[in-house]
Structure 1
Amino acid sequence: MVLLYAFYAVVSINCAYFFLFSKFSFLKPTPKKSIPNFPVSIIVCAKNEAENLKKNIQLWLEQDYPKFDLILINDASIDETLEVMESFSETDPRIQIVNVRNNEAFWANKKYALTLGIKRSKNTHLLFTDADCRPASQHWVSEMVSHFSEEKQLVLGYGGYEKQKGFLNKIIRFETLMTAIQYFSYAEVGNAYMGVGRNLAYTSELYYANNGYMSHIKVPSGDDDLFVNEAATSENTSICFNPESFTYSAPKRTWKSWRRQKKRHYTTAKLYKFKHRFLLGLFYVSNLLFWILAICVLVSDSWKIGLGLILFRFIIQYLVIGKAAKKLNEADIIPLIAFYELFLIFNQMSIFISNRSEKNATWK
């Protein structure tokens, strides 16, 4: 009976999190606002991204928004990144180039490069994306910045990955989906803890009020999630999940490169506020315990009750996660949600163990 009670408690915790996630999954879109007319700066930091810039600069410039400039930051690239930026700037005055050279104090530090780009902007409203990200539509800028108001100074968007063949692609997109569901849901209940630099907007006032990235300037990653974790409040944060506001990046093509990326990202989680570390950790642990205890219960005398709890948990999971997957255009992931979850649990465990014995890497 002790095993059954423990399993019941774990399933209850799982379902409590799914209830939290339902705040986003079943959230109705806000009514369409008129297109703002305040000037916006799109800020892109690029390190050895010449090929991606050739494809994406034109897409950023084609945005259907009345007033914006494009600040391109060359972060000490050794390829033709700067030359590509300059070739586009020759034909479009909206482009401003910030050429960053490495220095001893901030060697290979993306936050230092971004700081220089933000200081270059004369506009209050800033929209960030990465060099390898393409906007889903010409209304990306207008959709994201329409969520700004006198009170809302921070807008969280969705940065997805392109759909390709293969199991790795499904895992990458499932992990990205689950991350988005969590940060959107926490933000919706007034407890925002992160955003993604592939699609993030905030005001320069908020940036300077929080001393930029100074509290974590030496941490290689975290220009997005650590800044949001520090600056977000229940009053100043909004979310944008209109499909026209999404951005898409090319996913990693090898397991090694994806795991390296995840290992870098996970190193910032230990710097989150304690309440966020606790809640995120409890979610992971409760999922891990669910799978372990589910096996134990199914081979016990209480297997019928255990099977009922398992089915109940899966039904709730598929309803909530499936609804969010459709909202974020990731519906093809739905059939194997449980399998992807199990795979990610053990992959995340191996990354966590590996990270404890390695030093942080630079952002590129």
Structure 2
Amino acid sequence: MQLDFHQIGLIGFVIFCLVAAIQVFYYVFLFRRLAVYQAPPPSNNHKEPVSVIICARDEADNLVNNLPGILVQEYPDKHEIIVVNDNSTDQSKYIIEEFMKAFDTLQHLQLKQEAKMIIGKKFPLSMGIKTAKHEVLLLTDADCVPASEHWVKQFQDAYRDGIEIVLGYGAYHKKEGVLNKIIRFETFHSAMQYFSYALAGIPYMGVGRNLSYKRDVFMRNKGFSSINMIPSGDDDLFINRVATKSNTAILIDPASHTLSEAKATWSDWLKQKYRHYTTTKYYQPKHKLWLGLYSVSFGLLYPLAFLSAIFFSWWMALVVLAFRWLVQAFVYYGGMKKLNEFDLFPFFILFDIWMFFYYIVAVPSLWRKPKRTWN
């Protein structure tokens, strides 16, 4: 029996409805958690000493611009700032030494040799962690600046009994232009996922621009030994290995964010994203399943909507799509307000359509060989 165009259209529409239902499930079951999240109050007023660690390679300009924001943090207990100067050939050494004259909390750990058999940022970060005097570690990058002088305190307040890992948000400075908004939306979209998964008890990643964990969890898991041969992953892959339902918390207060300069060109940004996505293949199977189903359903949604509109019923396809957009609107409204990205909300449908094309462009990175340098 041959199928006519109407029957083919009906089958396509049914598949489209199934894909849309999967998407709605993710937004209702998972991503809604960030939209309605209310941070618990600090468990007590006791503040533990904190070691802030920054790895830098040829980051002289960024150190000049961003290190002061870390040095002037208002924190009532002991804290130290360790800059791991990883084989820099610029003026980084002298800039750090000048800052040390004014701030006794600043330490300079200078590395003069490359590590053998350890690729990427993991060796300098490991050296920084081993040098750290305190149990609570707070990690960021040289191109990041805290959004407030209470950044350190915010992370300390997030620790409660049993918590060993706190995931933060690494935002970008808001500037004019389409590219800046797209980068910030993609950053929000990624954060919506890893925060929501953590709230659901299945944490899978964090970002090294704004991340904290206990020194003990690093030592207990033998540091980065299981991922040393993978160039990237000092943040997401490490968290993927050690984070659990009970030991992970999130921190979303705007005062706890870090801010970076977004890439100025499309090519530079895509190269950055390619590098990030090369680690996804190393995630735990359960995380790859959850993330993969969402990505595949997202990639199929708009093509199936278009085919359903052409070969079945344009208004029924639009109704299904509009329902998903309505659910998205609720989730994005709450999530963007919490992460201080609400200026993006009026354009979320346009960004959502754009994300379809972004996924197509990003897919090849899953098979690319990772870059062997971290900067």
TM range (shorter): over 0.9
TM-score, scaled relative to structure 2: 0.93
Check 1:205–1:359 CA distance in 2 against 1; reply closer, same or farther (3 A cut).
closer
| Rounded Cα–Cα distance in structure 2 between residues aligned with 1:106 and 1:301 | 58
The residue number in structure 2 matching 1:60 is 70
SS at match of 2:262: coil
Q: CA deviation at 1:324?
A: 0.4
* Counterpart amino acid of residue 228 in structure 2: I
Contact 2:165/2:249 (8 A) holds in 1: yes
Matching of residue 5 in structure 1 with residue 14 in structure 2: yes
CA distance in 2, matches of 1:15, 1:326: 21
The one-letter code matched in structure 1 to 2:209 is R
CA contact (8 A) 2:16 2:304 kept: yes
1:41-190 paired onto structure 2 within 5 Å: 41-66=51-76, 67-103=78-114, 105-106=116-117, 109-190=120-201
Relative to 1, partners in 2 of residues 1:354 and 1:27: Cα closer, same or farther, differing over 3 Å? closer
Which secondary structure state, in structure 1, belongs to the residue aligned with residue 195 of structure 2?
helix
Number of residue equivalences: 364
How far the C-alpha of 1:75 sits from its partner, in A, is: 1.0
TM-score by length of 1: 0.96
Asked whether the equivalents of residues 36 and 142 of structure 1 are also in contact (C-alpha less than 8 Å), the reply is no
Q: Displacement of 1:108 after TM fit?
A: 6.3
Match of 1:307 in 2: 318
Which range moves more in the overlay, 346-355 or 156-165? 346-355
Name 2:247's counterpart in structure 1.
236
SS where residue 72 of structure 1 aligns?
Answer: strand
Secondary structure at the aligned position of 1:129 is classed as strand
CA distance in 1, matches of 2:368, 2:275: 13
Which whole-Å CA distance do the structure 2 matches of 1:276 and 1:130 have between them? Answer: 26
Contact 2:118 2:229 in 1 (8 A): no
Structure 2 counterpart SS, 1:299: helix
Query: For each residue in 1:134-158, what CA deviation from the matched residue of structure 2 results, as whole angstroms up to 9, or x when unmatched?
Result: 1111111111111113300100011
Q: Which of 3, 18, 28 is the equivalent residue of 2:38?
A: 28
Instruction: Say whether the 8 Å CA contact 2:302–2:356 is kept in structure 1.
Output: no
Q: Gaps (5+ residues) in structure 2?
A: 1-9
Give 5+ residue unaligned stretches, structure 1.
none
Check conservation: 1:264, 1:361, Cα contact below 8 A.
no
- In structure 2, do the counterparts of structure 1 residues 57 and 106 end up closer, same or farther at CA, with 3 Å as the change threshold? farther
User: Given that residues 138 and 210 in structure 2 are in contact (C-alpha distance below 8 angstroms), is that contact kept between their aligned partners in structure 1?
Assistant: yes
Shift of 1:193: 0.2
CA RMSD between the two structures: 1.6
> Runs (4+) of structure 1 moved beyond 4 Å?
32-35
Alpha-carbon distance between aligned partners in 2 of 1:59 and 1:246, rounded to the nearest angstrom: 12
Whichever residue aligns with residue 239 of structure 2, its letter is V
Distance 2:115 2:124 in 1: 14
The question of whether the paired residues in 1 share the 8 Å contact of 2:115 and 2:123 is answered with no
Residue deviations 1:96-143 (CA, integer Å, cap 9, x gap): 111112336157621000000101011000000111111111111111
How far 1:53 sits from its partner (Å)? 0.8
| Percent of aligned pairs with the same amino acid | 40
Q: State whether residues 84 and 111 of structure 2, in contact with CA within 8 Å, keep that contact through their aligned partners in structure 1.
A: yes
Say which SS state the counterpart of residue 102 (structure 2) adopts: coil
| 1:3 alignment partner AA | G
- 1:340 matched to 2:359? The reply is no
In the TM superposition, residue 349 of structure 1 has moved relative to its aligned partner by 2.2
Once the two structures are superposed, residues 146-181 of structure 1 have per-residue CA deviations (whole angstroms, 9 ceiling, x without a partner) of: 111330010001110001111111111001001110
Query: Which letter maps to 2:360?
Result: M
Deviates more, 1:153-162 or 1:89-98: 89-98
Q: What SS does structure 2 have at the residue aligned with 1:69?
A: strand
